[in-house]
Amino acid sequence: MSVSNKAVSLLSLSGFLLTISTLTTPSDSAIDTFVFGGCSQLKYTPGSPYENSANSILTSLVNSAMFTTYNNFTTTGSTQQDTVYGLFQCRGDLQDSDCARCVARSVSQLGTLCVNSCGGALQLEGCYVKYDNTTFLGVEDKTVIVKKCGAPTIGYDSDALTRRDAVLAYLGTGDGGAYKTFRSSTSGDLQGVAQCVGDLSAGECQDCLTDAIGRLKTECGTAAWGDMFLAKCYVRYTEGGVRSHAGEDYDNGNDKDNDDDDDDEWNRTLAIIIGGVAAVGLLIIFLSFLNKHFEKGCK
């Protein structure tokens, strides 16, 4: 594999450069909403055999999503270093057409987010896509990727807290029937959803969800809603139906202070201002050029 640093290997999403909820692209529906994305620091050389393998994997993911909600592939190159592993998974309640559209959008965004990266992962509301040069298929990984917590409100209502715990308990154990990677539960106005990546065994899925639920209850406390995304599973709950994150507390699992969020907001505002000033300057220059051009043309 032609790369800039062959000594680097990627064993999980935790080894990626992670972007949390910052990729703002238009979406057709909520299933296309960006949750998180990450790219490996290891880069391949454009036009190399590894690029061909990566493109083959991503194409296979998009094509397969038209017929199923989960699949994984391995593309073997001329050498072991050119081998690429990939998988996609859609939310268990999606129709095939929505799954295919979500995976296609994910792959498209990965192409923008992870240019020439040997590995990348992207989670949208409706689907998850990952590829890498080191196998992660069938490997349990409980690394915390994203944690989001709402404002602490349900703690003042013991019934709501009981319903929350009942929903999470069901998500952790299922209904006692056949093993399912996707689970949903409702109790009153509390709704919950959980899912394991399809390459985990039933026991590994159970272990991952148990860990995610424990973290969610401990770290989000009595929040009205909470999301806990681990590398190979996630658990989410919300109170009162459709949830809006606007104005809510936010925690990405890296224990950053709220001041960081304020700084980010200020940086975005400053970038907009600078961009506006630059645009005005370019417009003035362009108008001046046109004026000189027409003056020459009349002489």
Output the domain CATH number for residue 230. 3.30.430.20
Residues 124 and 229 in one domain: no
pLDDT of amino acid 15: 53
Question: pTM value?
Answer: 0.72
Q: Do 36 and 124 sit in the same domain of this protein?
A: yes
Same domain flag for 34 and 111: yes
Contact indicator for 224, 189 with CB cutoff of 8 Å: no
The whole-number pLDDT of residue 16 equals 56
The answer as to whether 249 is a domain residue is no
Asked if 252 and 20 count as a contact pair (C-beta separation under 8 A), the reply is yes
124 with 67, same domain: the answer is yes
Q: Which of 132, 162, 187 is the last residue of a domain?
A: 132
Q: For every one of its 299 residues, what pLDDT tens digit does the chain have, with 9 covering 90 and above?
A: 544 333 233 334 545 555 444 333 333 457 889 999 999 999 999 999 999 999 999 999 999 999 999 999 999 877 888 999 999 999 999 998 999 999 999 999 999 999 999 999 999 999 999 999 999 999 999 999 999 999 877 655 678 788 888 999 999 887 667 788 999 998 888 899 999 999 999 999 999 999 999 999 999 988 889 999 999 999 999 876 534 333 333 333 333 333 344 444 444 444 444 454 444 444 444 444 434 443 333 33
Whether residue 125 is found in the same domain as residue 157: no
- Asked if 167 and 183 touch (Cβ cutoff 8 Å), the reply is no
Q: Which amino acid is at 249?
A: D
Same domain, 212 and 120: no
Report the pLDDT value the prediction gives residue 278, as an integer from 0 to 100.
47
* Apex 268 CA angle, 265 and 273, nearest 5: 125
* Structural domain for 184, as ranges: 144-239
Please indicate, yes or no, whether residues 43 and 118 belong to a single structural domain of this protein: yes
Six token digits for residue 47:
């036009």
Residues 121 and 198 in one domain: no
In a domain, 62, yes or no: yes
On whether residue 276 sits in a domain, the answer given is no
Query: Same domain for 22 and 128?
Result: yes
Q: What CA dihedral angle connects 245, 250, 253 and 257, to 10 degrees?
A: 170
- Dihedral angle of Cα 97, 102, 108, 110, to the nearest 10 degrees: -150
19 shares its domain with 122: yes
The pLDDT value given to residue 29:
52
**Among 190, 212, 239, which residue terminates a domain?**
239
